[in-house]
Amino acid sequence: MLQTQHKSRTYTTPKLSRCGSNGSESDISATAREAFSWSAFRPGNDPIRIRTAIDSSIDQTLRAIDAYRSPLAEKKLRGEKLTKRETNELKIWDELLGMFVEQPTSLPKEAEWALREAERLLGIK
Amino acid sequence: MAVLRLSKPPALPAHVSYSLYRDWLLYNFYDHVCSYCIVQHESLQVEHWEPIAYAPERERDPSNFLLACPRCNRGKSDYHPAYVGRRTRKHEKHGFEVIDVRKDDLACMFDLLNSGELRPKPGTQYERALWNALLLKLDVAFVTTKRAECLRVLKVCEGLVSQGGQKAEALLKVLIPVCAKQHLLFRVFDVQVSDALQFKLNEFIATHRPAIVT
């Protein structure tokens, strides 16, 4: 029976650059800070500072999303055909944007019902 | 021209907060319609067309106010609307002027498709329209879906008005207020509305918003 001399090595988590990582939570946030150029500061208990901290990190996240989304959105707005992959990517960026910003007001339930009823009455699919 | 004319602003004392002009703006923008994406939002902010950072003297000037949803407000940020030096994309040489519903005819800049998508119209304003669509993210999926929904309501109302009958009238009673609240979208983008439906919409608006010039 053929046997190799190979011995499996114990798995170690990959080291993240510039973080001296052991996979802990702080390393992940450090990587996120590095990737999105986030800066951290302690807002303490001051509500205005907390609000500013939230707003500025949302702004930075939106800017980061925008950097990936804009070229695809521009292509679409110019009327160029997007590949299936690009279409899906744009859809995902839009969904992600929807998590950070307020969505438009939805129709009241009564109006939604009336709209469906009217479409049925008029034979609109 | 489908530009928007606002009613006369209320005469408020100089020392009061500019946020008191919100009701006047809400009245003009027909209950929560953002002046940039022309779509209804629950919470709208009083937006300084010329940012306070550039023109502190216009902080309480009603002619400097618009209503913006948090998303559009974030997009425009403190960008001076007439300053074209800022670029939003790496390859750009310069930016463009931000759209203003009070002086720009958006119907000349964009085509509103049935899918709710906005497409910049070919012509002299093409690059500006495209730039604004990207700055304010006028093309984002959930806004496009909302516009499509408004056009769907309009289409259904048109059908009900031409069909007539007791049931159609009952449904119109529910749908006309919804349609009337979005009439700014139809006006701004020159969406064709039949005379019969326009009459019904005007009737509703005249009862609920008599001061608005339609």
Greater pLDDT, B173 or A23: B173
Cα B30 from Cα A113, distance rounded (Å): 23
Cα B197 from Cα B195, distance rounded (Å): 6
Q: What part of A 41-60 touches B (C-beta under 8 Å)?
A: 58-59
pTM: 0.78
Kindly state the average pLDDT of the residues B20-31. 81
Contact between A97 and B137 under an 8 Å Cβ cutoff? The reply is: yes
What pLDDT is stored for residue A80 in this prediction?
93
Cα B156 from Cα B149, distance rounded (Å): 11
Contact between A112 and A105 under an 8 Å Cβ cutoff? The reply is: no
- Kindly state whether A62 is in contact with chain B, defined as any CB-CB distance less than 8 angstroms: yes
Q: Which two tokens stand for residue A112?
A: 């939604």
Whether B133 sits inside 8 A of A119 (CB atoms) is: no
- Kindly state whether B133 is in contact with chain A, defined as any CB-CB distance less than 8 angstroms: yes
Contact between B146 and B116 under an 8 Å Cβ cutoff? The reply is: yes
User: pLDDT tens digit string along B41-95?
Assistant: 888 888 888 888 888 888 888 888 889 998 898 888 777 777 776 666 666 677 7
User: pLDDT tens digit string along B2-17?
Assistant: 777 888 888 888 777 8
**Vertex B111, ends B110 and B116: CA angle to 5°?**
110
DSSP A34-91: HHHT------TT-HHHHHHHHHHHHHHHHHHHHHHHHHHHHHHHTTPPPPHHHHHHHH
Residue A122 pLDDT more than 80?
yes
- Closest residue, chain A, to B157 (C-alpha): A118
Contact between A107 and A115 under an 8 Å Cβ cutoff? The reply is: yes
User: pLDDT tens digit string along B102-126?
Assistant: 889 999 999 999 999 999 999 999 9
Residue A40 pLDDT more than 60?
no
- Closest residue, chain A, to B117 (C-alpha): A77
Cα B165 from Cα A118, distance rounded (Å): 12
Which residue among B74, B143, B160 sits closest to A104, beta carbon to beta carbon?
B143
Residue A33 — very low, low, confident or very high, per pLDDT cuts 50/70/90? low
